[in-house]
Structures are given as C-alpha cells and as structure tokens.
Chains A and B, each alone.
Chain A
C-alpha cells in the first residue's frame, strides 16, 4: 500500500517535471517559430490581392452586362413601340376601310331602295288615258 502510494507520488512528480519541460519547450518552439516568421522578408507578388482582382473582374463583367442589358432592353422597347404604332395604324386603317365600305353599301342600298320606291310609285300611277291598256296587260299576264 505504502509502496503504491509512494510510486504514484513519484510518478506524478516525474510527470509534472516532464510536463513542465514539455510546456517550456513548446513555448520556446513557438517563440522561435514566431521570431523566424516575423523577421522573414516577404515579397509582394501583386499590388492587389487575387480576390480583389476577381472582384474587380466580376464587377466589370457585371457592369458590362448591365449596360448591354440596358441598351438591348431600350432597343427592344423602342422596337416594340414602333410595332405597336404600326399595328395601331393598321387597325385604324382597317376600321376606316370597313366604315367606308359600310357607308358605301348603305348608300348603294339607299339608292336601290329609292329606285325601287320610284319604280313602284311610277308603276302604280297610270294615267287615266292608259287605264284600258294597263287592264289588258294585267289580263295577258294571267296564265
């Protein structure tokens, strides 16, 4: 029992001494590494970081895309408006043509009606002197 306790204590002391030494070495190692890295001269490869270059390129590409998109959208809108104007003009012309046609048909119809009426009126009013002759024509018409 005593031996075990003693052995454990010695073991802990050895471990602690070892731990202390390991931690000291760790510190020395980090300090040496840091000093070497800190005093190491660096060469600047590029004035701008690669990420910045990509961002710039992406910005320019996006800008160009926006300008091209804006221009094409404007052109397309102008084209669409011209098309709409042409279509509206064609529609108006078609409507006017139809109205004119209707008017013409109406006028023709009116003329025909008038002529028919005149014919009818004329055919009804027979002078008295012609009355016997008209009577004959009516009789001849009968089958």
Chain B
C-alpha cells in the first residue's frame, strides 16, 4: 500500500459533541483520496471537485447514521462511486458535452508522470505507455473501470474493493482480470 492511503476501520466511540470535530478530521484525511479516485474516473478536475464536495456533503448529512461497521474510507468511497454512477446515469449527455469541453486530454494527463531517474527516451516511452493505459481504461465498462482504478490507483485489496462496490470477491476478480487483459492486449498490440 502507498503511504497516505487509509482503509483501516476507525474507532467510533464518540459523544455527540465530538461528531463535528471527528467529521472534520475524516474530511482532512480522506478528501485527497476521494478526489483522486473521482479524477481518475471522470478525467475532469472541475467535475471531480464537484463530486468530491457532494460526496462529503452527503457523508456529513449521514454522519450520525454511520456506525463504523466499515472503515470511513470504505463508506466514503461507496458514496463516491454511487455519486459517479448517478452522474453517469442522469446526465450522460451533459456529462459528455462537459467532458468534451473541459477534460484534460489523455495524453496531457500522462504528462504528469514524474521523470524519476529515466533518460529522455525512457520518459517518452513511459508517457506513451501511460497514455495507452489511460485510453484503455476510458474504454472499459463502468464497473471494470471502478475495480481497475481501485486496485491499481488506490491500491485497495480485493476484499476492500468487494466491500466498496458491493460485489463478491469472485466478481471483482473477474472484472479485474478482464480489465487487465484488455490493458495487456492494448500494450502488446502497441509494441
């Protein structure tokens, strides 16, 4: 797991007066991760920001009913996935129009790849590969994309992905396997 990614359950022994304080801590802790997942899913900074705000607004409204059965991250990620699904369902046309206008081009997204210790040639090759992965992820089904991003961007365990998406682990594995096969095929075909 990468540093800063928190999936562990949190203790929920809290008196009413501490609820607001606790929620603020949860927002500060998990907001970047929720934003990142939504950004990777929508590829639109403004939309990801809006959906992140909606996610935490919804979480705030239901914070009292959150019993701490799962981790706060799992709960928030579930809300984020549902918001994203609703957005796709309800505003499919508007979304596409919006995305067409505002989304960062996939090749541009790959420009964010840290250069590291690579040579210029290696960097170019890596960027090309990232762009290829991004294009393939874009073409995946909504469910496959969600599972793929949770696994390879958020580095969530299969059991955690199953909890977040409400799917069985077997189904998660199947979706993940198909998604990886497509990415592999695209990368293989590219070479």
Contact = CB atoms under 8 A, between A and B. Distances in A.
Interface of A: 15-16, 18-19, 21-23, 25-38, 40, 42
Q: Give 8 closest A-B pairs by Cβ, nearest first.
A: A34-B36, A33-B112, A32-B112, A29-B113, A22-B129, A26-B133, A37-B45, A29-B130
A118 B49 CA distance: 113
B15 interface: no
Contacts of B72: none
Contacts of B45: 37, 40
Residue of A29, A32, A38, A40 with most chain B CB atoms under a 10 A cut-off: A29
Nearest to A31: B36
Contacts of A32: 112-114
Contacts of A15: 184, 187-188
B32 interface: yes
Given A22-B132, A32-B112, 20 more contacts: A21-B129, A22-B126, A22-B133, A22-B187, A23-B133, A23-B152, A25-B113, A25-B129, A26-B129, A28-B114, A29-B109, A30-B112, A34-B32, A34-B36, A37-B35, A37-B39, A37-B45, A38-B31, A38-B32, A40-B45
A98 B19 CA distance: 89
A27 B152 contact: yes
| Contact-residue bracket for chain B | 20 to 34
Interface of B: 2, 31-32, 35-36, 39-40, 45, 48-49, 104, 109-110, 112-114, 126, 129-130, 132-134, 137, 152-153, 155, 180, 183-184, 187-188, 191
28 contacts: A15-B187, A15-B188, A19-B184, A21-B129, A22-B130, A22-B132, A22-B133, A22-B183, A23-B133, A25-B113, A25-B129, A25-B130, A25-B133, A26-B129, A26-B133, A26-B134, A26-B153, A27-B2, A27-B153, A29-B112, A29-B113, A29-B130, A31-B153, A33-B104, A34-B40, A37-B39, A38-B35, A40-B45
A37 to B, nearest CB: 5
B187 A19 contact: yes
Contacts of A18: 129, 187, 191
Contact of B113 (A28, A38, A40): A28
A4 to B, nearest CB: 17
Given A23-B133, A35-B32, A38-B32, A30 B187 contact: no
B28 to A, nearest CB: 12
Nearest to B39: A34
Nearest to B45: A37
B114 A30 contact: no
Nearest to A19: B184
Contact of A36 (B112, B130, B155): B112
Contacts of A28: 113-114
Contacts of A19: 180, 183-184, 187
Contacts of A33: 39, 104, 109, 112
A102 to B, nearest CB: 76
A26 B179 CA distance: 14
